[in-house]
Amino acid sequence: MTTSTEPYVLNIGPQHPSTHGVFRLRVVMDGEKIKDLDMIVGYLHRSMEKLAEERTFTQNIPFTDRADYLAAMTGNLGLAIAVERLAGVEVPERAEYLRVIFSELQRIASHAMANGTLISDAGAWQTPLLYMFREREKILDLFEMTCGARLTTNYMRIGGVAFDPPLEFWPALQELVDELPDRIDEYHELLVSNEVFLARTRGVGVISPEDAINASLTGPALRGSGIPWDLRKADPYSVYDRMDFDVVVGKSGDVYDRFMVRMSELYQSVKIIKQAISQIPSGAHKTDIPLALRPDEGEIYSRIESPRGEIGFFLVSDGGPSPYRFHLRAPSLINLSLLNELGRDAALSDAIVTLGSLDIVVGEIDR
């Protein structure tokens, strides 16, 4: 009496309560096991790259806000650094330190959200997520204080940052940085020995180091598999070479390791912010550049470390005010390429948890 089962097709998304955005997974399932996984993207395509060809470089900065909408500061920073390298613009010291502070703040906010949504994907009814949102709310308050927006900040400019933070920013930042390590310890304790969480995440979605490198993974997904590669140390930009911090590397490449890498990177970000606060000089917060900057003809590929991985900008300039070609290398899209192999022969719940651990943002996948 063999029960012959027929595989059937299950569509997950594009409207889905899992907080990953409009993203469609077409899963061929046999019972509770996945036989094949197909990702269909494009539901959030806004033709950013084409529209960028009509706008000046400064006008393109809001696009990067909306590409990776959970890490707007690093997106802005990536484009600003790319154009500065292309056009040879100098950035004042104070602006560099401000950039570092805001990038690290954004990293904390983004990792808190990524970890929180991972746990709520595992079913914890958003309680840990909302605990992590406590800190994220304070960070977003800081952003609002400085540039007026919480999410799509549009803060970096070519040659510096848009505004100098107001006077009330610094005490608030100091307070936050002082209490953050204790809070992170709280979350750490809550989750590290929770058996249900361990049972859901250990040994699930294992990526071996060879697979990770072959699939061009970057960011915490790569570091979770044991490869020590972080662009802030490997290819330093801004003033990261003056900062003293460690790079967190996991051991076995499962979901738990990626989760712990993000959790530990929170501590490192706090360390960097503290150093930046103590080292920041006074001065100008941006250099004056012409309204429509015309870089020389040429092309450049420049990359920085966003919370999701390596975000790269390929710019081709033809001497005019707008780029001839603007391409964003989205880390989420490249990180996703392994999902097919990871999902094979796994249960659906495990595939969902693995997807959560890869930390994708559909805005930058589709641009």
**Near other proteins in 184-203, by CB under 8 A:** 192-200, 202
Told to check if 297 binds other proteins by CB under 8 A, we report: no
Helix (H, G, I), strand (E, B) or coil at 311: strand
* Minimal distance, residue 264 CB to other proteins, in Å: 5
* Minimal distance, residue 228 CB to other proteins, in Å: 5
* Minimal distance, residue 124 CB to other proteins, in Å: 4
Angle at 162 between CA 157 and CA 168, to 5 degrees: 145
CB nearer to other proteins: pick between 138 and 329: 138
List binders of other proteins among 3-22 (CB under 8 A). Answer: 3, 8-10, 12, 16-18
Identify the bridge partners of residue 170 per DSSP, sorted by sequence position.
Answer: none
List binders of other proteins among 139-168 (CB under 8 A). Answer: 141, 144-145, 166-168
Told to check if 282 binds other proteins by CB under 8 A, we report: no
Among 105, 114, 161, 261, binds other proteins (CB under 8 A): 261
Name the burial class of residue 142, with classes exposed (0-12), middle (13-18) and buried (19+) by CB atoms within 10 angstroms of its CB.
buried
- Phi and psi torsions of 66, nearest 5°: -90, -10
Give the CB-side neighbour count of residue 85, counting CA atoms within 13 A.
18
Among 206, 215, 247, 284, binds other proteins (CB under 8 A): 247
Name the burial class of residue 169, with classes exposed (0-12), middle (13-18) and buried (19+) by CB atoms within 10 angstroms of its CB.
middle
- Interacting stretch for other proteins, rule CB under 8 A, among 61-69, 78-86, 246-254, 329-337? 246-254
Output the six-digit token pair for 357. Answer: 């651990």
Among 40, 213, 299, 320, binds other proteins (CB under 8 A): 213
Told to check if 292 binds other proteins by CB under 8 A, we report: no
Total of residues contacting other proteins (CB under 8 A): 75
* Minimal distance, residue 319 CB to other proteins, in Å: 36
CA distance 1 to 50: 59
Q: How far is CA 86 from CA 198, 224, 302, 311, 324, in A?
A: 47, 33, 9, 17, 13
